[in-house]
Structure 1
Amino acid sequence: MEDAFERLSELSEGEVRVLLNDLLKLTTASTKQGDGEHKALADSDRHLYSKHVERAAKAEQRKRTVHIMFSLSDAGSLKVTLSKLGKRMENEVLAFNDCFSTGPINELVKAEGQRSRESWLSERLSGYLFNHHMNHEHKIGRMIERIAAIAGQNSIVIWCGDNAHEQVGLRFVMHLLKGRENEIRMMNGSLFYRNSLADAQGSNRYYALRLLEPELFLKMVECFEQAELLSEFDRQRYEAEWLELAQQKSKLRLWENGQIKHAAENELDKRLMDVIGKLTEDTDDGFVKAGAVVGEIWGSCTQLIDYPFIEYRLWTLISDGYLAFRGLPGAMHQYAVKLNSGRILA
């Protein structure tokens, strides 16, 4: 029996639904046709199922606010913080598992556009398909369904920061919510930092939600209910900006001067080359671990770009002859790169 419980924990949500459906069919048949112990067991199963459905319905009724985020990690932090504040039961947290600063975003509302994006990313980014299939409930298509199912009486809070990924995501969600009468608030972590700490320097240190210290994030969560509602003008502006974004063919988007900038795929290549040159100054053979290169880019670049895209550009430079590598491809700690002498990136 213990083995059965272990196998159950390994099933996907879809597989669990199929299993539950089969069990309910069997229970219904036993209730109608069974006798003695079989009928008693079937009746007990039906009663247990009814109690779970009733409990789930009551839990849904208690949820007054739906939070939409663009990171599974950020969503986890929000859930933990809401629990600490005793507000977890009345708040639902939805999260995308996509990086909207990279890859095509055309026709994302349609299945064809989603397949096109998935195909482009899976061909270039290491581990993309595995990560996406492991988090099926957070894929774009499923998230569109879940957002469409938000009840009209629920208020909605969209969480973001000053980066292209979350700002593109914000506009996409506003497009999905077009015409809805729900109250919508926006919680911008970058803006919250500047307003809370009166940052006179205009620092972009907190360009993403995940960079906020726990204490600052807690303060932000404590006051989300007091955040100003998005005006009809702002809602329409975000919706219109999404339509403009979705028409562009760019595969990389950056955040500059408060705007989303469309960039060429090779926009970061020069920076990658410079970082490698800097890191290899103190090496004997000119090689530096790929992970160190990506880590340095992440630490010095105030842009939210997923590291598989950066690694993809690293391998493009290797393929084009600008970099040499040694080691085992597949994991960044297993191989190193160095500049190829005589090859200068224009």
Structure 2
Amino acid sequence: MPCFKGIAVSIHANSAPIAEYGMQKQSRLSRISTYIPVPQPQLNPDTSKHEPAKFAISITLLTPGHPIPYTTPKATPDCPNPKPLYAGPLPSSSTDPSKHANTVTPYIPMTHSENETIAAYIYFDGRAKEEVATLLRPGEETWVNSRWVQVPESEGGGLAEREFLFREVGLERWLNGLDLKGHDAAEKVEKRRQKFERRHRRQKSSAQAGDDLDLEKTHRTRDTLTYRLDDQAPLGTSDDDEDSLSDDDEPPEATGQIKVAMFRVIASGEIKKGEYSPQFDAHDDDDDSDSGNKEGSNGAIDADVEHTTSFAKPKTLDPKTISTQTVTGIDGPEKPYAVFTFFYRGQRKCLFILAARI
């Protein structure tokens, strides 16, 4: 993404944010989605075996003047000390938009309460039950990289955490989790094809428009950003909805996605330390069966392999390091403030999706 409606979200692996492709935005429905490539398995120097890529989710509730995470371009001879993008001021009828060119719209509070914030719920692969729920602190980056679980009494009891992993599975098994038939599938495919053709034509006309279009954009704040791989221009922008998804073209709830649903809340309850009731057992979602992956000697993934989310082995967690707080919801349970969806795919398939959408 990483920015939408004043919130920055990104998926990280190997100590860096993962590049994003094919962003789609539905402003009226407060949804945004993009595709990310799954990192290759990493070689463990101790065991000489390839291990699944771990990933973490970074979420930041942007406040006025806050630097946007990971928007600082790489240094160049012409610009040895590049600066990041910043969240602009709160919108005001008396503010001249040209004074805040190239800024990102911050989160706009709904109430006057200083305790208003966002509760983020994270879902994997279309599951109805969230893996994690976390409360954001305005202006601070929140990291989520594990699920909290309860260890059975027979194994000593207590609280533990299981880190997030991308696990390789055979493509035929991965396909079983998708609704390939769908409803009116042919019609939806044709609508998407026409939509991408319109986008391509508009991009060509925009390129020919030249300086007039660039001048117009300098007087607009940015609503959405997304990561790119280009070192000189690591971020792309989107400020219009002409190509956004239609109401009947919702992202599928199926294998191969990470969804983060945001709800506005008033965090006015007492902060309690060391009190938490895990929703999951330590061995939930354990799967030691043959995943059907074919891996070369260099760890490269073959074409008939896809991915799903998985979890590392439980690690003991000190309950004193966690805290919980009671909140009062502003948004209804069926009407989140914003929904971020990351569709993860193998590297080759993600690049194919990118090529198909240009």
TM-score, length-normalised on structure 1? 0.21
Q: Which has the larger share of strand?
A: 2
Structure ranking higher on relative contact order (CA contacts 8 Å, 6+ apart): 2
Q: Which has the larger share of helix?
A: 1
Whose radius of gyration is greater, 1 or 2?
1
TM-score, length-normalised on structure 2? 0.20
